[in-house]
Amino acid sequence: MPSVLVVDDQFLIRSGLTALLTAAPGYEVVGEAEDGDEAVRLAAETRPDVILMDIRMPGTDGITATERILAGRDPGHPGGPKVLVLTTFDSDEYVFRALRVGASGFLFKDTPPDRLLAAIATVHAGEMLFSAGALRGLVDTYAAPPSRAPHPGLAALTPREREVLGLVGAGLSNTDIAARLVLSAATVKTHVHRCMSKLELSSRAQAVVLAHEFGLAARMP
């Protein structure tokens, strides 16, 4: 059962999301926050599996709150929390900024309830809520050019881990990477997890961005 923290500055939206999740089997709401500072505090207190995060809020916005929450994640709570950004603001740059700081997905607030519940389950499972093509388009548009300055964690990667990171950067799923490298999906998952741990990344989308920014993303035919 994924535990969920709901973050939105509008009471009606917060209460509506809470009511939806409370009525749906298999979901637990562990708290509500009306701004980014409260979200950071409640995330530390409740340790949710998934955070539904509004972007535009007075004071600390959702992107800043996401960055602070994921930077301070508990090593004893591996894999969490996952942040699913909800907004009415249609901007690809906002989407990219949210992904860059570690959000796992992005939805508009008019998303139907069944799709919202499915999205929570998707990010809870560690998957991205974006098609590979859409994410590559955002990265190509907004990511910094490949950097010549070394990332402090890259030297710790094994050759196989760098290869896997490059394929993640190309947008391939674990299943696709396994087929390409003739490995089991479980082995690929382990490599991805080790890459993210060594690079201190919070989401697969963040790994895609990093691979592009450091010129590691594989070029697919």
Residue-wise pLDDT tens digits, 79-117: 569 999 987 766 677 778 888 888 988 888 888 999 999
Q: How confident is the model at residue 218 (pLDDT cuts 50, 70, 90)?
A: confident
Mind listing the pLDDT tens digit for each residue in 159-180? 999 999 999 988 888 889 999 9
The pLDDT of residue 172: 85
Nearest to 2 by CA among 41, 51, 65: 51
- Of 54, 10, 48, the C-alpha closest to 27 is 48
For 139-213, CATH number out of 3.40.50.720, 1.10.3720.10, 1.10.10.10, 3.80.10.10 equals: 1.10.10.10
Span 191-196, mean pLDDT?
Answer: 92
Tokens matching residue 199:
């690079």
94 and 125 in contact (C-beta within 8 Å)? no
Closest C-alpha among 60, 54, 42 to residue 14: 54
Domains 3-129 and 139-213 share a fold: no
Ordered by start, the domain boundaries in the chain are 3-129, 139-213
- Gap between the Cα atoms of 91 and 112, Å rounded: 20
Instruction: Encode pLDDT of 37-66 as tens digits.
Output: 999 999 999 999 999 999 889 889 999 999
What is the CATH topology of the domain spanning 3-129?
Rossmann fold (3.40.50)
